[in-house]
Structure 1
Amino acid sequence: MDIKEIQNLIKFVAKSGASEVKLEMEDVKITIKTGTGKTETTIVQAAPMAAMPQAAAPAPVAAAPAAEPAAPAVASNEEDKYIVVKSPIIGTFYRKPAPDKPNFVEVGSDINTGDTVCVIEAMKLFNEIESEVSGKIVKVLVDDSSPVEFDQPLFLVDPS
């Protein structure tokens, strides 16, 4: 991970409103803490081995799409103004509380902090996922009834 990627990650975390993000890959550990107007970054990087980094480099990049979306530079700049609502747990994503009920939110819906945006089923328990930000839903990133992973982006929210 080079310095430009780290700087972009810091900017992304600051805009997302998260208070703390930890990213650990085979050769790098990064902790970014935000709050009270300051951003603290801790970076620990192990000395690279002779042959290992070339073979190990693709795996961490593929495993870290939640931290920084792999998209073209133009699309990335366009989406930088949006906040990502991510899955706090592993499970099955549902957009509505029951099959016969309407979706919690649609593209264009205004949401406030604490509003339920979806449900994630994990081990036969249905967990209501509440928004941590206020704004307007710009994009739904996951199909209904799809499996989701921890920290997977679910929605893009325009905070303005």
Structure 2
Amino acid sequence: MDIREIQNLIKFVAKSGATEVKLEMDDFKITIKTTAEGAAEATTAYVQHIPVAQPVAAAPVAAAPAPVAAAPAAAPADDTAKYLTIKSPIIGTLYRKPSPDKPAFVEVGATINKGDVVCVIEAMKLFNEIESEISGKIVKVLVDDASPVEFDQPLFLVDPS
């Protein structure tokens, strides 16, 4: 990644409204933090990966906390298991309305069909209409209006029945 790409990334993060973004590649790590005024500062650390043999005794210690963390996550999944999720196909800023003075594309309780626009996501000054790939009833909106979203982030829960 050259300096021009890093500068473009900093500008994008500052405009997106995200407060912190971390990017890790094979040979470097970059963290971009924005302030309340929208200014961004970046910290870059170049890392040289050196293979190191891990002691066998370290694996059980690291694995012990994982089951404890997985148990609470499994409980809410039972409630939403019957619903399908509309996920973000790109990174950007999600807008639930076509413009500030218009109503939202969809609300909780709205019935949608395959191909209906459910929101728009702005990425690099382009507004991309996000169409539903499923039909059903909106059960829950998972993202606030004008919020930054990641690739594959759940946006809406839909009851297909």
- TM-score class, shorter-chain normalisation, is 0.5 to 0.7
- Counting matched residue pairs gives 104
Distance 2:128 2:119 in 1: 8
Higher Rg: 2
- Identify the residue that residue 11 of structure 1 maps to in structure 2: none
Distance 2:106 2:114 in 1: 13
List aligned pairs for 1:1-160, cutoff 5 A. Answer: 50=56, 51=58, 71-73=73-75, 75-160=76-161
Helix, strand or coil for the counterpart of 1:77? Answer: helix
Measured after TM superposition, the shift of residue 52 of structure 1 is: 6.2
Tell me the TM-score normalized by structure 1.
Answer: 0.58
Helix, strand or coil for the counterpart of 1:76? Answer: helix
The CA deviation string for residues 12-51 of structure 1, in whole angstroms up to 9 with x for no partner, is xxxxxxxxxxxxxxxxxxxxxxxxxxxxxxxxxxxx9733
Helix, strand or coil for the counterpart of 1:71? Answer: helix
The CA deviation string for residues 44-86 of structure 1, in whole angstroms up to 9 with x for no partner, is xxxx97336865998xxx9xxxxx9x7351x211110000000
**Cα gap change, 1:112 to 1:54, in 2 (>3 Å):** farther
What is the letter of the counterpart of residue 79 of structure 2? E
The CA RMSD measured in Å over matched residues stands at 2.7
The gaps in structure 1 that reach 5 residues or longer are 1-47, 63-67
Distance 1:57 1:147 in 2: 33
**Cα gap change, 1:127 to 1:72, in 2 (>3 Å):** same
Tell me the TM-score normalized by structure 2.
Answer: 0.57
Helix, strand or coil for the counterpart of 2:73? Answer: coil
Q: Sequence identity of aligned pairs in percent?
A: 75
The gaps in structure 2 that reach 5 residues or longer are 1-53
Helix, strand or coil for the counterpart of 1:81? Answer: coil
The CA deviation string for residues 105-159 of structure 1, in whole angstroms up to 9 with x for no partner, is 0000000000000000000000000000000000000000000000000000000
What is the letter of the counterpart of residue 146 of structure 1? S
